[in-house]
Amino acid sequence: MCMWPGLIAKSKEGGADVIQTYVFWNGHEPIRGQYNFEGRYDLVKFVKLVAEQGLYLHLRIGPYVCAEWNFGGLPVWLRDIPGIEFRTDNAPFKDEMQRFVKKVVDMMKQEMLFSWQGGPIILVQIENEYGNIEGQYGQGGKAYVKWAAEMAIGLSAGVPWVMCKQTDAPENIIDACNGFYCDGFKPNNYRKPVLWTEDWNGWYASWGGRLPHRPVRDNAFAVARFFQRGGCFQNYYMFFGGTNFGRTSGGPNQITSYEYDAPIDEYGLLSQPKWGHLKDLHAAIKLCEPALTVVDSGPQYVKLGSMQEAHIYANEQVDPNRSVSGNVSICSAFLANIDEHKSVSVRIFGKNFDLPPWSVSILPDCQNVAFNTAKVGTQLSIKTVESGSPSYSTASAPGFLLLDGKDLHISKTWSILKEPIGAWGNNSFTTQGILEHLNVTKDVSDYLWYITRVNISDEDVAFWDEKGASPFITINKTRDVVRIFVNGHLSGSKVGHWVSVEQPVQLVEGYNELAILTETVGLQNYGAFLEKDGAGIRGQIKLTGLKDGELDLSNFLWTYQVGLMGEYSKLYDPKEQENVGWTDLQVDNISSGFTWYKTLFDAPEGNDPVALDLGSMGKGQAWVNGHGIGRYWSLIAPQSGCSESCDYRGAYNENKCTTNCGLPTQSWYHIPREWLQDFDNLLVLFEETGGDPLKISLKTHSTKTICAEVAENHYPPLSAWSHPDVINGIISINKVAPEVHLRCDEGHVISSITFASYGTPNGSCQKFSRGNCHAPSSLSVVTKACQGRNNCRIGVSNDIFGDPCRGTLKTLAVEAECLSPDFATEKLRDAL
């Protein structure tokens, strides 16, 4: 929550006019009729913070939201309402949905937060991507859409309502587009504005999967094309994704991080060049705003080639073969090259314009290029996480993380407590047959124990000895994780989504205790009939391989135990520590499964974001000072499928530009600074499979290295277009020199310039080298302008550096290091 003002400010600085947020029903009403609008769920405070920054807000109430959030944001208690069917023409569901939506709308009205009341809310959303599944509900789906629209309008919010991906949205609801590209989208009525509610500038990641990344050149191309072809409202999904703390991540199997390759990373730091390049794009589009808003009937279209086209916005008809005449006072143009392979020179307005492949050039005055989506002049940032072992590096691509090997193991002193296998409390119960997981747990825990006893005869044991065989426990279907224990010992595990299980087990003569643990790793968050998806076990459980065949255990008496003893006892709560029988960790018990671990640690100095490296652990959950930082799981991504480089050209999909092959999908887990105290922070882990807590590291996360490379023929800085001398015609915009902009994280300064060359430098960030042409003043000029400052700008021209090689196109390449001021001073002192 303390991060909110900074995140909103960085969004605004990046060019945002509107903040969009979901409303998570299961977060705000965890128990039916009991509401939670406090802390991280303080919706009113968030909306007011947006207003304080002078931004608008789009409130997506849903109340189904998807969002890779647990159960798509729907409360699990809905499943217990008799006769309920989710998201269709079903009275019990509609009653609950209307009650919650009305609660939120009334709260916003009471706080005077709608735009007509002077507040920031200009749009509200009902439902979410229902069109994708509507057909599965038949006529009930169609009736539900109509009802949802009428219900929403009847709440008198006083602002427009939106339905995304809903082609049959009623007349008084705006249907909107979600996708990687929406430039071809048209609403179902020409009177409705063209809205893009989710521009997927990245994608989510799943445990054991690769990490998706969307090139910023392609993202900028998609946005420019949208506005070029008549779009009027576009929202990034996500501009900041953050972290799914606790058990809020959706499923199955979405990771705890919701970074989403966003312009602002999970820790609140700028991801460059994505944030900066999109900021420039936004500035260029806003320069066109007078022209975009002066046109009522659509832009003027001009075919420039087989795969090239222009859209002109002007207050008068424009002759594209001539320079813009004086009677056209307002004119902006978008020139697109949708060829994925070739650069093309096109002629329009009496001038030639070079268009790189898969790019859009924006001309705010129909004469000069302010921005091209494929030409990135923004800095690239290499972020570091200072850490000990294990040391993983993904710093081969822009904005990724690099570990520097500094030993910051969190603690050498740990306490442990073993988690019982099977039933542990008075709240267990016994009944005949197999019960559905969620019907029993109500999702208060990921874990449910199924326990029974099986009597094995001496004849069966002799049969197995004679055949050299083992019996098997078979389960028809299970999800997400199942673990099978016999007499307190783990026989095996299975991971998957409704997969069958055939597990060999070792049984002894007489009674054997069979304990099956089913685990959820985020409830299903997308699709039709969510109330029927369930969890745990489907079908029969059998013991096979007996002398006389098989034994169906499905109708046995089973004892059910919800959750873990450690959860029930709140071992993670600082207030409960005196009631826990912790013992010291012994070296021979380090890698033990089904173990609770505890230690104390001090917060790192400074204000940099903090991360916990759990790469040495297996699977479990973690808490800091009682706050759940999320599930962890060190599943390894496939060795193949990642590319050395990513070509931005051509249509993007979530499998196109992935990284992290052969490494854990997630090793670092965000701990918000507001959850930490200076000393004696309590870290508690529940570890299922075994790991080494002595290798857990505490890390600080920051931008360490920044690089930029700008040629002298790059377009001028966007800020120059608003300079009085340019506006008044004293200076032509094309006479303004381009600039290199460098910027460290807030609270950090540029401690040193490690490379600078104006001329023909070679290589790329962290691999720059001088070319045959080099201005000797390069390093001194850049150092004087930048060292000791948080940010700086350097003009890229012969006027600044002199001309080291006449007649040659020159480029300024710079690499710099960022440090906190104290470390920077110490480093400078050491150098002297």
Catalytic residue set: 129, 198
Q: Which residues contact 589 (CB under 8 A, 6 or more apart)?
A: 416, 595
CB 484 within 8 A of CB 451: no
Instruction: Look at the block and give the residue holding tokens 């979600």.
Output: 178
Task: Show the CA angle centred on residue 105, arms to residues 103 and 109, nearest 5°.
Answer: 115
In 3-state terms, what secondary structure has residue 789?
A: coil
Q: Which residues contact 548 (CB under 8 A, 6 or more apart)?
A: none
| Pair of tokens at residue 286 | 């806003």
Pick from 180, 378, 374: which is nearest to 261 by CA?
Answer: 180
Distance CA 747, CA 303 (A): 50
| Pair of tokens at residue 400 | 């990724």
Q: Following DSSP, what letter does each residue of 374-435 receive, concatenated?
A: T---S-EEEEEE---SS--B-TTSTT-EEE-----BS-S--EEEEPPSS--STT-EEEESPP
Q: Which residues contact 422 (CB under 8 A, 6 or more apart)?
A: 449, 451, 485, 488, 513, 515, 559, 561
CA dihedral 523, 529, 532, 535 (to 10 degrees): -20
Q: Which residues contact 190 (CB under 8 A, 6 or more apart)?
A: none
Name the residue type at position 483: R
What DSSP element (H or E) covers 139?
helix 139-153
Pick from 200, 352, 256, 103: which is nearest to 671 by CA?
Answer: 256
| Pair of tokens at residue 784 | 């004087």
The pairs formed by 571-575 with CB atoms below 8 angstroms and a separation of 24 or more are 571/417, 571/596, 571/598, 571/684, 571/686, 572/623, 572/626, 572/628, 572/682, 572/684, 573/626, 574/625, 574/626, 574/682, 575/626
